[in-house]
Amino acid sequence: MMTAFTVRLPDETAARLDQLAEKLDRSRSYMAAQAIEDFIAREEWQLADIETGLAEADRGEFASSDDVAKIVAKYVPSARS
């Protein structure tokens, strides 16, 4: 089952969508639906990852000072060198 609804876009964005759809031999509707699906998947993943991190923090699961120092040392050259 599919639901139809209206989305208002700036004229320039609609023109860019039309150009992309033409280049890919797809409809404007297909391209918009694909963009929305991709956006939703990305946002769901990011929010789930944030919720996981918050739950870990609530349980007190943090990196130790030594863990953080090792990561920093891996990417930041020592000031003594």
pLDDT in tens, 2-33: 899 999 999 999 999 999 999 999 999 999 99
Residue 43 has a pLDDT of: 98
Model confidence at 79, pLDDT cuts 50, 70, 90, reads low
Average confidence score pLDDT of the chain? 93
How many CB atoms are closer than 10 A to CB 29? 12
Q: Region 41-54: what's the mean pLDDT? A: 97
Q: How far is CA 10 from CA 7, 14, 29, in A?
A: 10, 6, 16
Q: What is the pLDDT of residue 39?
A: 98
**How far is it, in rounded angstroms, from Cα 54 to Cα 79?**
33
